[in-house]
Structure 1
Amino acid sequence: MSQIDWGAGSYETTAADLLPAARELVAAARIQPGEQVVDVGAGTGNVALVAADLGARVTAVEPAARLREVISESAGSRDLTVVDGTAASLPLADGSADVILSNFAVIFAPDPRAAIAEFARVATPAGRILLTSWLPGVMGKIVGIVAKAVNEVTGSGKAMEGQIDWHDPKSLSDLFGEHGFEVSTTVKDLSVTTTSPEDYWETRIANHPLGVATFPLLKKAGRLEEVRTQTLDAISKDWTTPAGEVRLPAQYLLAIATR
């Protein structure tokens, strides 16, 4: 959803972790057969595929070429179209979507206000928009270790202008309200498990698109091993069972915007 190449590395592992949230998102949308559904930042197609299985006519919008291929290969005979696009530039007509969904994707949009305006443009007058975003907690702590080091290395510690707290119901209500939407929110739980802290590092961080994009900077600055050690120590201390299994209890916000 930003300048990160989400097709780099292996997003598939993370996508599998997020599948329960994708199912919750689609269920909350109360999709009816024949409705036009748009999945923004579709990734490997979790949301798009589940929605299509309900009889919806689905358009999966994904900027990463490799991930578009993954979705197309999984689509089979479903009524599912895969297109190139971003949250702030959807290749869709005004008022053409009954439902717009985004599972932990629009939260990476460089210009949140432009993305929300684009969602409002594409939604039908009675359309609904649903998205998920991480609440502060486990995921933020783990990602924060890497982000802090990257900010120190690049000198980009200041918050980007125009960014919003996607997990803040008031912020969402204010911004969607400018387009005539009312927002309701629910807090949901999502547990991520792996065989060990080392496995989590390799499969969810080092080979994640964000890791692929930032680790060369950390390695060049001589900070990568330090970040790895800090991350493994945090996971081992707080979220690893006596048997060595990692269990991360995360929470996220499910937001529904309707006119």
Structure 2
Amino acid sequence: MTTTAFDDHERSRWAGRATAYDTSFAALCAHPAPSLLDAAAIGAGVRVLDAGTGSGTVAGLACARGATVVAVDAEPSMVALARRRVPSADGVCLAALPHLPFSAGSFDAAVSNFVLNHVGDPLATVNELGRVVRPAGRIAVTIWPYPAPRAQGLWLDVFDAAGVERSTAPPGLDADRDFPRTPEGLAGLLDAAGLTDVRCGTISWVHRTDPEVWWSGPANGISRPGLVMETQPPEMIARIRAAYDELTAAYRDTDGLLALPTAALLASASVP
């Protein structure tokens, strides 16, 4: 199996972090899940692959619709959590995109929620999703757009206000494997994979969350802000926390929860 430096970095970043993700950013990622399933026409009797299931949110919702669900993830702690979370799934197993242990045409549909942001070869990943879905079956994917929505971009303001020097940059995608994180760019990726009836749009919402929950994700190493946080000495963490409290105050509702504007791109297509 061939992986890129980006893939290796992603594997290391998520290793053992299923619980930290589930108790912090999983609720954010869950919001587009019903729309993702709608775009893939997931209903009773549909055999669907949830590729990159994480803590099992999408798989659980698909099971609730009466679908026959198989879920995979590259991180063992996620697989273990998803198995407990979604006991009605037909199977939850370890697999790393773009290599899936299924025969061609095994599924009626495949969905992948915020996974293309975390693979070193997005086109190969979409091609693999297309391989395991039968002709005329559906594929639906979500990604975070660029520029980052306010909910995610706020962390950069926090680090700047605290005076953090972000000298450690994670590996990026090879230039010939990257694509614009825009509706046109994501639609173009699905077009390049030879899929048909490609549709792509933006889902916007306000993510409401407890300030401590939003803090806990990066504080426990989740996402790129987590990479920044874990390299800081205690005195800088204190400065980051002070800046966080100050800058998030403008987004606190009267009930004390944060109301953070955010958005995702949702694309879907048919397998020819």
Return the TM-score normalized by structure 2.
0.79
- Structure 1 segments of 4+ aligned residues over 6 angstroms from their partners: 146-151
| Equivalent residue letter for 1:93 | S
In structure 2, C-alpha distance between the alignment counterparts of 1:92 and 1:150, rounded to whole Å: 45
Cα offset for 1:147? Answer: 8.5
Distance 1:100 1:199, change over 3 A: closer
Which segment is superposed worse, 176-185 or 206-215? 206-215
Which residue, 259, 262, 268 being the options, matches 1:250? 262
In structure 2, C-alpha distance between the alignment counterparts of 1:151 and 1:123, rounded to whole Å: 45
Conservation of the 8 A alpha-carbon contact between 1:48 and 1:80: no
Aligned residues: 252
What pairs with 1:80-119 in structure 2 (closer than 5 Å)?
80-119=90-129
Which residue, 65, 71, 74 being the options, matches 1:60? 71
Conservation of the 8 A alpha-carbon contact between 1:193 and 1:247: yes
Cα offset for 1:36? Answer: 1.7
**Sequence identity of aligned pairs in percent?**
27
| Residue-by-residue CA offset, 1:102-127 (whole Å, 9 max, x unaligned) | 11222211221221222222222212
Instruction: Establish whether residue 29 from structure 1 lines up as the match of residue 40 from structure 2.
Output: yes
Which residue matches 1:186?
A: 201
What pairs with 1:1-259 in structure 2 (closer than 5 Å)?
2-3=10-11, 4-5=13-14, 7-8=16-17, 10-13=20-23, 14-76=25-87, 78-135=88-145, 136-145=148-157, 152-154=166-168, 156=169, 159-161=172-174, 162-166=177-181, 168-182=182-196, 183-196=198-211, 198-202=212-216, 204-207=217-220, 209-210=222-223, 214-219=228-233, 223-237=236-250, 239-241=251-253, 244-259=256-271
In structure 1, C-alpha distance between the alignment counterparts of 2:99 and 2:84, rounded to whole Å: 24
What value does the CA root-mean-square deviation take over the aligned residues?
2.9
Cα offset for 1:223? Answer: 4.5
Return the TM-score normalized by structure 1.
0.83
In structure 2, C-alpha distance between the alignment counterparts of 1:191 and 1:111, rounded to whole Å: 30
Distance 1:215 1:71, change over 3 A: same
Q: Secondary structure at the match of 2:142?
A: strand
| Equivalent residue letter for 1:184 | R
Q: Secondary structure at the match of 2:214?
A: helix
Conservation of the 8 A alpha-carbon contact between 1:62 and 1:86: yes
| Residue-by-residue CA offset, 1:78-123 (whole Å, 9 max, x unaligned) | 2420010122122221222221111122221122122122222222
Distance 1:209 1:6, change over 3 A: farther
| Residue-by-residue CA offset, 1:114-150 (whole Å, 9 max, x unaligned) | 2122222222221211111223321331344588898
Conservation of the 8 A alpha-carbon contact between 1:164 and 1:171: yes
Distance 1:241 1:34, change over 3 A: closer
